Structure 1
């Protein structure tokens, strides 16, 4: 990439001798220089104007000399070549400091700073969601300074402009008098699920001095959180990313029915993973199940031997009470002063639909 204000060197090979014009163009002519050569090959230089950013084009127009013997060739030849201009002055360096690991339910402290005073946003997303969505960290510098076409000719695009979207939406909007009728068809026993782990900071002020943004990690989440930052200041931009692993001493995964009816008896499968450091190969972990809307058939507490870094299964039998709606089933794992909690909900529904 060339620096603004520097000279660009051009090797010109023509079919004949003559004179020509070198211009630096994009949406207009930024610089120009005349030259003359007595050979078919020459090296010329032209200065890149200050303030020119992103990319531009070198246009060489070459006219055959009057005394040239190449009379069977076109008297005019030309060539255009693109070149890139350095955006270092427009780049904002962002530094993020994130802990390598946090536990579910803890405060995630994110340190951030930038190479210059700027506005910045922070946002984090469960990496599993990003993999499904194939989401990548945006690069605003590349977006706002993406390669532009050579547009020396003037033309208009006004007849291609779309109307204001809000006007289109207003004309096609449905009436609001059916909301009450539609709401009667909603499922009153809808099962509640855990909210995705996603956050964003809003617009923050950043600069060379480090600041901190706090995010409360949900107590149910175990996994990687990718943390991304995007900054903008005038015509300068920056982006950076990092990641933090959220993992408790014990990771509890459960498999429960989506819905049951009062009186149903069912089994709940639980996977218990021991991630407590230093617990050893013969760690005994106490696993307890509870739920106000369910009766536990048999024992509600099991002691399981789970080696460090391994996972073991467990099974509980439950019976649903006559408490309709989305009802939680809670799990607690504990050993040697360390503990972890997890909760999952299942829908308790009537055995038959409601008739009027």
Structure 2
């Protein structure tokens, strides 16, 4: 229902007339005055169209009030009027606040000043023709900064007497209780709610002087004094004032800070050591006379070709003076520009940071391997290196873990949390924790690592159902593949000394053993999952003869990747040497080598895992782990480890979390095998590089 106002705006003391547009002829009218709450309410009989409701406006209604009218009519005997009716209308009544405006005058004792001179600001407050005592917020800001932001002097009167939003909601369940709700029915009297709009203001201030509570005397006058700043520009004095009667106003005034002779530095934002640069000094002559000016640049840390120059300055003109310089120092340099023309002088100080050039990180300049007491020489190209700015880092690493930090970081910070991603991070971390007990790992906080592993073990509980099986997500349908990989990681963690919740293993082992001997596993449809299950059970001391016999019969159907797990299962189950050798020989025969690297390839069609295995990283990692268990002195081991490290991407990690997880686990196991014994290392770099050495003990 719309409400027609008798005027677009009102003043204090006016009577507002409201005419509802409605077809209701009789009933009751509830008139309310609302804003932050209900300020007034009255009920009167409603006698149909043409009867206006009246509102007497007072100072309490400044700057606006919302009039609400609710018309209610009960049920009538006529055919079309069996049900009660209720209509609601709102009208925003603006109340002018002109009488609340305070006249503010602001003045300075001069139009312009030189830097360092005292500035006197006088503020006068009046309401009508009468001086008033009030409080003033005084600010002096750089006009240039204000213009950049298109900043206008704030008007507190406009802000405080802006129309208020309606914070009252009118609602009733009358109609819904006595008649069915019909969403397709159109109510012709709906509307009239335009009063509920919101508004947002933003304010930016850069201030040279800020006095938030300057109080005037009874004569309405307040005086503030401050020292003019050194920057030569225009300033705006802004004064916002109010008194105890809520009279508000504002005013501003512009003044300038200038000198007859000015020097303005022209310099870059920063330099780097060795940079050659042309600095500048822009000289403005407002003395009214031409002449020869002396311009100087004092800059410790800069080698200036000509630090003092003579230039001709025209009257009321400007000249740019260049200074050729080279940065010889570093840190923050202080530049002092000076100019003299007769008796006129000016000097300005500014700072110029000298920072190192952008460092270009190179991944690996060279790699080498030292066996026993032998020496290794690494040669690399020094073209393009900058003296005093290039750094050589030598990683002397007996474990191979220096290459794993990016991959570990990627695993820990991977953003998703399904079972596969959780295990891809948690599994390698358990092996890293086991390694940390034998080898001091720089940069690895074992306490934080323990907290991470404990939290991961608790998270794994959310993926396990009441029967011990695991799903990809908490509450999702369990699958044998998920159960197998989860128990494989849990068993490896327990073997590494990580505390695992007993619920995981108490329910998990029976579920895994039952599946490994089930008809589903016997069908041979998922031999890859069965191979990992057999490996997991055997290494946990629970070998499944049924699973091993089935895998032995169908070994040729297994991919090379899955055969590595079969070999580990046979070894852990204490199978005969001939059985183990029968699996080992085809794996070794399939290995490809080049130089010091070796890898186990995997064909594209061999996607026999619950995630695709279409590259050589995971098969190589799986073979490295298997050989460490079955043949710890096999000559392929260092070559497989070297290939895994070399196959990492430029950032130091592999292409996905699966590769990261298996590669880190394999290299951690390899590092643990290499960590025994003591070592002394010494390294030196020549050709003007700083000698950087040595480390003793176990690295």
**What's 2:311 paired with?**
303
For the residues of structure 2 that align with 1:330 and 1:217, how far apart are their CA atoms? Answer: 20
Q: Is the 8 A contact 1:13 1:42 kept in 2?
A: no
1:57 equivalent to 2:74? Answer no
Question: What is the DSSP-based 3-state SS (H/G/I as helix, E as strand, rest coil) of the residue aligned with 1:222?
Answer: coil
User: CA contact under 8 A between 1:124 and 1:199: conserved in structure 2?
Assistant: yes
Match of 1:203 in 2: 213
Q: Distance in 2 between matches of 1:143 and 1:108?
A: 29
Question: Which residue number corresponds to residue 125 of structure 1?
Answer: 141
Q: 2:256 aligns with which of 222, 233, 245?
A: 245
TM-score normalized with structure 2 length: 0.38
Equivalent position to 1:46, from 30, 55, 68? 55
**Cα distance, 1:234 vs structure 2:** 4.7
Q: Deviations over 1:10-48 (max 9, x none)?
A: 2344314335343322311425463654x6224443212
Among residues 279, 285, 295, which one is paired with 1:288 in the alignment?
A: 295
**For residues 67 and 77 of structure 2, what CA distance do their matches in structure 1 show?**
25
Call closer, same or farther: CA 1:318–1:45 in 2, change over 3 Å.
same
Deviation at 1:81, TM superposition (A): 0.5
| Alignment match of 2:124 (pick from 113, 119, 123) | 113
Kept in 2, the 8 Å contact 1:249–1:340? The answer is no
Report SS of the residue matched to 2:146. helix
Q: 1:252 to 1:75 in 2, by over 3 A?
A: same
| Pair 1:345 & 2:351 matched | yes
Residue 128 of structure 1 aligns to a residue whose secondary structure is helix
In 1: Cα distance, 2:87 partner to 2:261 partner: 74
Matching residue of 1:151: 168
Asked if the contact 2:215/2:222 (under 8 Å) is kept, the reply is no
**Structure 2 residue corresponding to 1:77, chosen from 81, 84, 87:** 87
Structure 2 Cα separation of the partners of residues 93 and 316 of structure 1 = 53
Matched, 1:274 2:282: no
Q: Distance in 2 between matches of 1:334 and 1:197?
A: 33
Match of 1:184 in 2: none
The Cα shift of 1:252 comes to: 1.9
Deviation per CA, 1:260-318: give whole Å up to 9, x if none: 769x9864322122334xx26xx22513215374786557241313242x322122456
The separation in 2 between residues aligned to 1:247 and 1:143, in whole angstroms, is 35
Q: Could you tell me which residue of structure 2 aligns to residue 28 of structure 1?
A: 38
Describe the shift of the 1:40–1:352 C-alpha distance in structure 2 as closer, same or farther (beyond 3 A).
same
Aligned mates of 1:76, 1:322 — CA distance in 2: 83
Q: Per the alignment, in what secondary structure is the counterpart of residue 151 of structure 1?
A: coil
The 8 Å contact of residues 95 and 240 in structure 1, kept in 2 or not, is answered as yes
* Conserved? CA contact 2:117–2:227, under 8 Å: yes
1:200 deviation in Å? Answer: 1.2
Q: In 2 relative to 1, CA 314–78 (structure 1 residues): closer, same or farther, beyond 3 Å? A: same
SS in 1 for 2:60: coil
Structure-2 change in CA distance of 1:127 and 1:352 (3 Å): farther
CA distance in structure 2 between the partners assigned to 1:78 and 1:340 by the alignment: 73
Which digits, 9 at most, give the CA deviation of each residue in 1:159-206, with x for residues without a partner? xxxxxxxxxxxxxxxxxxxxxxxxxxxxxxxxxxxxx87221242112
1:104 alignment partner, SS class: coil
1:6 to 11, 14, 36: 14
Alignment match, 1:226: 236
Q: Would the aligned equivalents of 1:259 and 1:349 in 2 still touch at CA under 8 Å?
A: yes
Distance 1:302 1:17, change over 3 A: same
Moved more, 90-99 or 321-330: 321-330
Alignment RMSD: 4.1
Q: Is the CA contact 1:10–1:45 (under 8 Å) kept in the aligned structure 2?
A: yes
Residues 18 and 65 of structure 1 are in contact (CA less than 8 Å); yes or no, is this contact kept in structure 2? no
- Take 1:324 and 1:75, find their aligned partners in 2: how far apart are those partners? 80
User: Residue 326 of structure 1 corresponds to which residue in structure 2?
Assistant: 333
CA distance in 1, matches of 2:331, 2:73: 91
Higher relative contact order (CA 8 A, sep 6+): 1
**2:333 is paired with a residue of what secondary structure?**
strand
**Match of 2:411?**
none
Q: 1:197 to 1:273 in 2, by over 3 A?
A: farther
The unaligned stretches of length 5 or more in structure 1 are: 155-195
Tell me the alpha carbon deviations over residues 87-112 of structure 1, each in whole angstroms, 9 at most, x when there is no partner. 33544332211343333332222211
Name the SS of the counterpart of 2:61 in structure 1: coil
Give unmatched runs, 5+ long, in structure 2: 1-8, 127-131, 172-205, 357-386, 390-689, 693-699
Assess if the C-alpha contact under 8 Å between 2:120 and 2:224 holds in 1: yes
User: Structure 1 pair 80/327, CA: closer, same or farther in 2 (3 Å)?
Assistant: closer
Question: Which structure shows the higher strand fraction?
Answer: 1
User: Superposed, which structure 2 residues align to 1:255-270 within 5 Å?
Assistant: 255-256=266-267, 258-259=270-271, 267-270=278-281
Residue number among 282, 304, 312 corresponding to 2:319 in the alignment: 312
Separation (CA, whole Å) in 1 of partners of 2:34 and 2:89: 13
